[in-house]
């Protein structure tokens, strides 16, 4: 989120996780496009890599001219820093999403071992208690360092979500405003994960700003991002690059949310209201700004969380479908008919599509009305979705459809057709027509 009109994510779930037509995904650029990155910018990247303690990192041009990481790295934290440096200078589209080959310590291998162990433990876990309904709700309006992040109506939305979850029988852990520190969010995620059983139902809602998305080791369109906590980025940064590098260390990785979402449950619901937007690249040198603008047709560069990072088999273990259009996600996320028939109920909802802001009324008023004249305060989609959940007695499908249409129409109206906002829903078949 970038302005008082903007809400972030997922990454969420980012993650929460925000839109993804295949021809817009990073990694799906047609091969005939050539990226003419000026050599002075490539030289600047090399200087910045050395300045930030990455003496063995190098960059090359890939087959279509994008800047690709090469050289050697101690760990994936160094790779993330290198990606941030490259993207800050030439933008996301001109940065090849593929990981360098020479990384001494690979994070994904440890993650895979941990995930397999956790799933094995969950599958064998027995409990005498009945299944619970467990929820984590996070929302932030203003931040510890308000100079770095514009205010958003995250707490306003989270308060409504918390009430709806409590009414639906969830045991809610709510972290609002100054409570939503990096430590507290990560502690809550760990605690819920430690106590969760396959008989439980899980609901996660996060509304905050999101960081610049970075490629994953899988490459292609899969991207990760981080959720900005209340105390993230508490520095007086001299540049956006310095702030982004600090956020890499002080934000909450959406992988932690995805890891929790991956746990076997009776029913999992994720609502991501986090995103990344091009304002985080403001203040770059003129040459970088000019090149990035030209690459994006004169528009600010914006990108949301790639849904492949949430809907792929590595996180859900089942086939996830875009129920809004009945279009399956990429083939690699498909599952056998047997798996689909036996799957758990799993739904991911994002407030926006890729490259879109999550809109809200001006902070001075903060309120808006639905067509039935109900007055709401907060962001358009989240508030409308939970209002329509009341209308449809907790049924997610009709509530999402009504909120999606309202948000799409309203976004065009309030921006004079200058912006769009297209909420998305991905779910397993067994999750359709079910209640919150």
> How much is the average pLDDT of 406-430?
89
251 compared with 105, residue with greater pLDDT: 251
Which residues face 269 on adjacent strands? 203, 347
Strand-pair category, 367-369 with 375-377: antiparallel
pLDDT tens for each residue of 363-408: 768 899 999 999 999 999 999 999 999 999 999 989 999 999 999 9
Calculate ∠ Cα 292-294-300, nearest 5°. 55
Q: How far apart are CA 393 and CA 403, in angstroms?
A: 14
Query: Pick from 294, 269, 239: which is nearest to 44 by CA?
Result: 239
Strand-pair category, 321-322 with 223-224: unpaired
> How much is the average pLDDT of 408-432?
86
- For residue 36, CA distances in Å to 89, 220, 286, 304, 358 come to 14, 20, 17, 24, 32
Query: Pick from 40, 109, 27: which is nearest to 68 by CA?
Result: 27
Q: Which two tokens stand for residue 307?
A: 């849904």
Q: How far apart are CA 17 and CA 14, in angstroms?
A: 2
Q: Which two tokens stand for residue 26?
A: 């990073």
Q: Name, in order, each residue with C-beta under 8 angstroms of 162's C-beta and a sequence gap of 6 or more.
A: 135, 137, 172, 174
Q: Which two tokens stand for residue 264?
A: 């076997």
Mean pLDDT of the chain: 80
310 compared with 394, residue with greater pLDDT: 394
Q: Name, in order, each residue with C-beta under 8 angstroms of 402's C-beta and a sequence gap of 6 or more.
A: 384, 388, 391, 392
> How much is the average pLDDT of 210-222?
74
pLDDT tens for each residue of 65-102: 999 999 999 998 999 999 999 998 998 889 999 999 99
Q: Are 335 and 313 contacting, i.e. CB atoms less than 8 angstroms apart?
A: yes
**DSSP-assigned letters across all residues of 373-393:** --EEES-HHHHHHHHHHHHTT
| Selection from 102-111, 117-126, 198-207, 341-350 with the highest mean pLDDT | 198-207
pLDDT at 223: 73
pLDDT tens for each residue of 138-192: 999 999 999 888 889 999 999 999 999 999 999 999 999 999 999 999 999 999 9
Strand-pair category, 267-273 with 226-227: unpaired
Check whether 283 has a pLDDT greater than 80: no
Strand-pair category, 375-377 with 57-61: unpaired
Q: Which two tokens stand for residue 88?
A: 């800050």
pLDDT tens for each residue of 315-354: 555 555 555 543 444 333 343 333 333 456 888 898 988 7
7 compared with 383, residue with greater pLDDT: 383
In which band, very low, low, confident or very high, does the pLDDT at 116 lie, cut at 50, 70 and 90? Answer: low
Q: Which two tokens stand for residue 368?
A: 């808006």
């Amino acid at each position: 989120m970038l302005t008082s009109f903007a809400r972030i994510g997922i990454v969420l779930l980012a993650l929460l996780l925000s839109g993804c037509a295949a021809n817009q995904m990073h990694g799906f650029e047609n091969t005939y496009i050539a990226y003419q990155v000026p050599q002075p910018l490539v030289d600047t990247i090399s200087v910045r890599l050395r300045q930030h303690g990455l003496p063995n990192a190098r960059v090359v041009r890939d087959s279509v001219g994008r800047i690709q990481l090469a050289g050697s790295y101690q760990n994936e934290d160094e790779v993330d820093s290198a990606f941030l440096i490259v993207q800050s200078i030439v933008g996301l589209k001109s940065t090849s999403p593929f990981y360098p080959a020479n990384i001494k310590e690979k994070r994904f291998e440890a993650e895979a071992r941990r995930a397999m162990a956790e799933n094995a433990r969950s599958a064998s876990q027995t409990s005498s208690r009945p299944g619970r309904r467990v929820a984590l709700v996070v929302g932030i309006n203003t931040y510890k360092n308000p100079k770095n992040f514009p205010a958003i109506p995250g707490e306003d939305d989270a308060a409504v979500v918390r009430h709806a979850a409590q009414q639906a029988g969830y045991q809610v852990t709510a972290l609002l405003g100054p409570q939503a520190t990096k430590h507290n969010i990560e502690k809550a995620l760990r605690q819920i994960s430690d106590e969760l059983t396959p008989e439980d139902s899980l609901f996660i809602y996060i509304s905050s700003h999101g960081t610049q998305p970075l490629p994953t080791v899988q490459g292609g369109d899969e991207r990760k991002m981080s959720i900005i906590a209340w105390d993230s980025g508490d520095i007086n940064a001299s540049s956006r690059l310095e702030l982004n590098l600090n956020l890499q260390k002080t934000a909450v990785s959406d992988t932690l949310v995805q890891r929790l979402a991956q746990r076997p449950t009776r029913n999992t619901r994720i609502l991501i209201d986090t995103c990344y937007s091009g304002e985080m690249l403001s203040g770059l040198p003129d040459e970088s700004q000019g090149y990035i603008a030209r690459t994006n047709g004169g528009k600010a560069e914006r990108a949301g969380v790639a849904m492949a990072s949430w809907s792929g088999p590595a996180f859900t273990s089942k086939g996830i479908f875009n129920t809004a259009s009945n279009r399956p996600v990429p083939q690699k996320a498909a599952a056998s008919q047997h798996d689909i028939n036996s799957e758990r109920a799993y739904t991911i909802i994002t407030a926006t599509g890729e490259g879109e802001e999550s809109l809200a009324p001006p902070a001075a008023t903060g309120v808006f009305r639905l067509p039935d004249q109900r007055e709401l305060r907060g962001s358009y989609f989240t508030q409308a979705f939970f209002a329509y959940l009341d209308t449809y007695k907790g049924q997610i499908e009709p509530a999402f459809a009504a909120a999606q249409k309202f948000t799409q129409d309203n976004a065009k109206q309030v921006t004079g057709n200058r912006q769009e906002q297209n909420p998305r829903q991905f779910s397993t078949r067994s999750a359709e027509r079910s209640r919150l």
